Amino acid sequence: MTRGVTVAGQTVKLAAHAGEKLAHSDSAAAEIPEGQKIDLPPGKYKVTLKVEDGMAQSREFEVAANETWGLLAGTDGVLLPMRLY
């Protein structure tokens, strides 16, 4: 089970399987609870995923103006940032 995802000093706590029913569409971002959204200005960011056993995985990604990103976080600690639109 995932403990939390940290980006730019902001941590979002996630329950297991959070967001798995969201469709890959322009309206998907509107369905995400406000507590799980982070607005970032353009730039490079490090995202860290902490999993139940205390291990952490980190990855960097770059956000451009007017982009929306999603983050897939596996129970094994694998991170996959995805540019949605």
Q: pLDDT digits over 2-57, tens only?
A: 578 888 888 888 766 666 666 555 566 566 677 777 888 999 999 888 877 767 78
Number of Cβ within 10 Å of residue 2's Cβ equals 19
Domain assignment of residue 60, given as a range: 2-83
Q: pTM score, two decimals?
A: 0.66
Tally the domains of the chain: 1
53 Cβ contact partners less than 8 Å away, ≥ 6 residues apart = none
